[in-house]
Each structure stands twice: as C-alpha cells, then as structure tokens.
Structure 1
Amino acid sequence: MSGTLYGLGVGPGDPELLTLKALRLIRENRVIAVPGNDTKSSVAYQIVKGAYPELDEKELIPVAMPMTKDKEVLEDNHNKAADAVESYLKQGENVVFLTLGDPTVYSTYLYVHKRILERGYQAEIVSGITSFCAVAARLNMGLVEMAEPLHVIPATYKAEEMDNLLKLPGTKVLMKSGKRLKAVRESILRSGQKAVMIENCGMPDEKIYESAEEIPEEAGYYTLLIVKEK
C-alpha cells in the first residue's frame, strides 16, 4: 500500500502558531520533507524545531525550491521534488512536507502536490495560519469588517499596475514585497491610504512599521503590508 503526502502549513514564524494537527502528523510520521538545500537553515524547519525539539530524530529530506522565474528551472526542480517524495510513497511511507504559512496561498508545495496526485498517489493539504492573518493579529487590528472586500496581492506588479490595484475598495494585503518595497511604498504614498508593515512576523528579528512614511526602501523576503483606506 502506498503512502500519503501531507502538505503541512507551519504558519508564518511563531512556533506557538503551529496547529495541533500539524504537530500530530509530524510526531506520527518518520519522513519530513523540508524546503531548501540545507534542511537546518530552512525557516520552516526552524519553526517546527521550536515547537518539536525532537525533529532531528526524523528522516529529513531537503527539497530544492529555487527563487527564480525561469520556467525550465522551476519545472525541473518541481519534478525532482515529486520524484524524491514518490520514492518514499511507493515504499508505503507517508511524507510530511513542511511549508510556510498555509499551503493554499502562494505555496511552492502545490506544484509537488499536483504532480503526486497526477501520479496516482494520495495527497492531503493541512491548513496553517496565513501570514496576513498573523500580521493583523500581531498589530491588534482586524483585516475586514461588515461588507468590506479583502484583496491579497503579490507586490510584483509595475508601478502603474500597483497604483491601479491600490484603488480597489477595502483592505489590500501586499505579499512578497521585499525586492520592490521602494516602488510599493511610493504607490501607497500616492494613494493617500494608511499602511502598516511587518518584516519577519513572529520571528526573533521581527520589525514593525506603523505607517507608510516609516516603510524602508528595502526589506527581506518575509515582508507583508496591510493597506486600508483612511
């Protein structure tokens, strides 16, 4: 009998936000897939390690997930990741694949998930706390109320496109903003809206910026902004 792949959301950074279901599956299964070439430097590994010190007793599989837009490189790495997972599944071993936040939101895990299903194996998604919900909670604020819409936007658009997106009604969540932060900040200031930002939410080096004016021109990959109309 073949094993099952579990795409497991570990939350945004704080080990205490790991769900009970996630922790149970990690405890119950021997093989843990970790995104990155070096498992112990992976943020997902560090989050789980904070809640489950025995993680190193498991068989940890490093899964390369390069940050590139090259379709051929991505396709090759996604297939290799699926191959690595399949080698355990066909032996009857379950594989728990760690992924930041929630696996359904801009997750590289989904590319492996789809391939494993296409190959005829069982694969399940285990929800984790999303980064934007954790950021709102950390800032002691709500995301939306009453009939307000919520827009989740990757901050990779050009300036004119971002200007138009910020005109959308309701709350805008801007993810993956690090490399384009200067341009995003300028768009927010032009829009006249209020914004807050957290870099590395729930991690030891967390930084909070409470207005658009405070937002720096550069920040790390794990940067998220919440933009609201005044």
Structure 2
Amino acid sequence: MSTAAVGTLYGVGVGPGDPELITVKAYRMIRECQVVAYPKKRKGGKSYAHEIVELYVNPEEKEMLGLIFPMTKDPVVLEREWGKTVEACWAALREGKDVAFVTEGDPNLYSTFIHLARLMRELHPEVPISSIPGISSVLGAAAALDIHLADGDEQVGIIPATADKEAMRQAIEHHDTIVFIKVAKVLDPMLELLDEMGLGGKASVVTKVTSPYELVWRDARELKGQELEYLSLMVVSK
C-alpha cells in the first residue's frame, strides 16, 4: 500500500454484478484500503457498486464514502457535484489514507472513475492514482447470451447508444458485433433502425448483467414500447 505523504486513489473494478466475479486483487484492495468510496445518484440513494462489494466490506470496520454523481447534463450542477466528490476524496487522501473507489465493470471503460481521476489530477496532482481492472458487463452479457463477441478477423464495437440515427447506422455497418450501452432511453429508435436494416431479429438485451436481478431478452423486439432498466445493454450480432 501507499507509503507517500498522501494516500493513493485506486479505481477498483468490481465486475458487472455477481459478487463472485470480483477479482482477487480487487478483493484485496477493498480490504486493505482505509476508505472505500462508491458512486451514487443522489443523497441517500443506493449504489450498485456498493451492493456488489457489501459481502466483502464491514461498514462498521471500514470508512465508507458515498459520492454523488447526479444523472444530469446541466454543466453547473455537474461542476459543483464533481468538485464535491474530488474534495471528499482529497480530505481522506491528504491524511495519508488510501481510497478505493469501487465501480461496476472496469474503471477505465465508460466509468465514473475516469472523470474522478482526471479532475483529481488537475486539482491535486500530487495524489498517486492507480486502477484495478474488472470484468465488464459487455463480457457478462456475452456469457448470459451464450454467444461469442468476436473471433478471427471479426470486429466488435462498444458504442454508447444515442438518438443520432446515422451514427448508430454506421456503427452497425462497420462491425460484426455491436454492444450498445446506455440503450434504455433510445430503445425504440434503435429497434426501428435495426428493422430498417433487416437486423430486427439479431438484437438481444440484457439488464443488470450477472446480478440476481438479471433479465435476458434474446429477441429485443419483445421490448418495443416498454421502459427499460438503466443498467441495460443491447448486443447486435450479425
């Protein structure tokens, strides 16, 4: 662990949902770090990453630090809340405490840790920062669907789903397999696009991958017109 005057900030990937998919190193880090920080959407809200690691952390023996990451694009709100999260971590780090920031999946793939680490480097460059890889929900979804993502010369894309129809079309055209994350808010437009491309029957959806709450739709068309859990992804396998 850190021997520097300030503690080390660790981004710890704790896997897609199943607590048994946490790595040995991630387990060791959350046990050894004095502070375990976790993201949440609002004050008093639940944390998916916290749920994953609660089997391994006794909150009575560990300093637990809930950090608010609001689901908004308002730049004023984001700047204010991001500043608070960095300073909350810094308060522990400057006392020489190591902080394990746990995040579902991998800390370097569409993770809140990416933004936290970037801002920490800007405001407190003296803080050592390290990341512990984790199993991504992308891999968990492939296992749940019993499919391969890529083999040989096949190309796979991991794409945030958006309302930009042409961008989504190009992503589908340029890859053999496409995993669309953050698909919940644009599910129906995505289904319409896939139908236009003759791929309506090639898309599957998985929510809360590998967790006890996992749900699988092998034919995503069954979900048309329905609301979808935020932690959902779509796999299009051509």
Separation in 1 of the partners of 2:60 and 2:185? Answer: 33
- Residues 144, 216 of structure 2: 8 Å contact kept: no
**Residue matched to 1:192:** 198
**Residue matched to 2:49:** 44
Cα 1:99–1:53, aligned 2, differ >3 Å: closer, same or farther?
A: closer
Unaligned runs of 5+ in 2: none
Separation in 2 of the partners of 1:108 and 1:172? Answer: 22
Q: Secondary structure at the residue paired with 2:25?
A: helix
Cα 1:40–1:213, aligned 2, differ >3 Å: closer, same or farther?
A: closer
Q: Secondary structure at the residue paired with 2:120?
A: helix
Cα 1:57–1:39, aligned 2, differ >3 Å: closer, same or farther?
A: farther
The residue correspondences of 1:141-220 to structure 2 (distance < 5 A) are: 141-193=147-199, 194-217=202-225, 218-220=227-229
- Alignment of 1:83 with 2:92, yes or no, is no
Cα 1:153–1:140, aligned 2, differ >3 Å: closer, same or farther?
A: same
**Residue matched to 2:101:** 97
Q: CA deviation at 1:53?
A: 5.2
**Residue matched to 1:15:** 19
Q: Secondary structure at the residue paired with 1:141?
A: coil
Separation in 2 of the partners of 1:54 and 1:38? Answer: 21
Aligned length: 228
Unaligned runs of 5+ in 1: none
Q: CA deviation at 1:115?
A: 2.1
**Residue matched to 1:224:** 233
CA offsets per residue over residues 66-89 of structure 1, 9 Å max, x none? 111122221221121111111111
- Residues 33, 61 of structure 1: 8 Å contact kept: yes
CA offsets per residue over residues 35-81 of structure 1, 9 Å max, x none? 1145772111111113x152453111110101111222212211211
- Residues 157, 171 of structure 2: 8 Å contact kept: no
Percent sequence identity is 37
TM-score, length basis structure 2: 0.90
Root-mean-square deviation over aligned CA pairs: 1.7
TM-score, length basis structure 1: 0.93
